Chain A
Amino acid sequence: MHELSIAMGIVDAALEEAERRGVQVNAVHLRLGALSGVVKDALLFSYEMACQDTPLQGSRLIVEDVPVVVFCPQCQERRTLASVQSFSCPECGSPTRDILQGKELEVFALEIEEQEVGG
């Protein structure tokens, strides 16, 4: 299981962004590709551990699943795959290895609590 080290990477990235902006983070939004090699449940579990004793303790990890999108050479179209077990166009059945999306492992946004200055 490598999800703990991935979770620690998420926490590091989020903390750095939060510190730079001087804000408190309530939730971290992550884009997780179906081909990222990361198991969502294990990651959610690891995130809590990775947050311990950091300013992110108590924050939530919100995961957006990103499906695999390929380019079909036959249809000349972008196609979303239903499963990572079959890399062929869902419309015409042509095999393709041209992956446009699905490897994401990206801290996309932070939900922050902002102190109103001078209010």
Chain B
Amino acid sequence: MTEPRLVEVRRNVLKQNDVIARALREQFRAAGVFVVSLVSSPGSGKTAFLEKMLTDLQPRYRVAALVGDLATENDALRLARSRAPVKQITTGTLCHLEAAMVQTALQDWNLHQLDFLFIENVGNLVCPSSYDLGENVRLVLMSVTEGEDKPLKYPTIFNSADITIVSKNDLADAVEFDWKTAHASIQSVRPGMKVFRLSAKTGDGMNEYLAFLSQQLAEHRAVAHTHT
């Protein structure tokens, strides 16, 4: 005879990813490297922004990047122009990066020799939100051409991010971008979110953002130092 019964198990489905992400975060802390991940929809200017960031930071800092892409290595080739170390993670059909992929990609890198590490996720505003990569801050990019209500359409990813970058600001007038509405959308899904408005093409707004990053690195190291 059999009888159905309910047994409680309480298992976090993403535990394996979370455990690796925690280990990565500890590794980053110990090495004193500040890690920034980037998420956005395809075509929001993520790679151009990253290229600009690597180029501008390089005179003062040691920077490197991991870039996730479905199939091509175009982004890595493009970013190689910045002369920073760049490694491609080709995800095949997978629509997001997972902590284990970051861990594998970093195996032969000496993190102690870096100040900033950037991790560019696959262009996708849905799937990456579930996966912690051990990053210190997560940036979400939205370009002015995408519309002011992007955060309301993808609240989960915006809520999981620490900073919003509004990119392609040089096109704002042409597309009649309504800054006030956009700002309200962002603050609605993530109250208090830090927002930077910039153009990787003209460089407008980059300095303010880069100064913020420098400050984050200094704070990160001060905290790491008191823990050791």
Interface residue ranges, A against B (CB under 8 Å) = 1-2, 5-6, 9-10, 13-14, 17, 21, 23, 26, 29-30, 35-39, 84-88, 95-97, 105-116, 119
* Number of cross-chain contacts by CB at 8 Å: 110
Q: Are A87 and B4 in contact (CB under 8 A)?
A: no
Q: Are B4 and A108 in contact (CB under 8 A)?
A: no
Interface residues of B in 133-172 (CB under 8 A from A): 152, 155-157, 159-160
CB of A118, distance to nearest CB on chain B (Å):
11
Q: In the assembly, what is the distance between CA of A5 and CA of B13, in Å?
A: 10
Known: A2-B94, A37-B129, A37-B160. 6 other contacts (CB 8 A): A1-B95, A29-B6, A37-B126, A39-B126, A85-B189, A115-B2
**Chain A to chain B contacts (Cβ below 8 Å), 28 pairs:** A1-B95, A2-B95, A2-B96, A2-B130, A6-B14, A10-B13, A13-B11, A17-B9, A35-B160, A37-B126, A84-B156, A87-B188, A87-B190, A88-B188, A95-B187, A95-B191, A96-B191, A97-B190, A105-B14, A109-B7, A112-B4, A112-B5, A112-B7, A113-B2, A113-B3, A113-B5, A114-B2, A116-B3
Q: Are B159 and A87 in contact (CB under 8 A)?
A: yes
Q: In the assembly, what is the distance between CA of A37 and CA of B94, in Å?
A: 15
A2: chain B residues within 8 A (beta carbon): 94-96, 126-127, 130
Q: Are A114 and B191 in contact (CB under 8 A)?
A: no
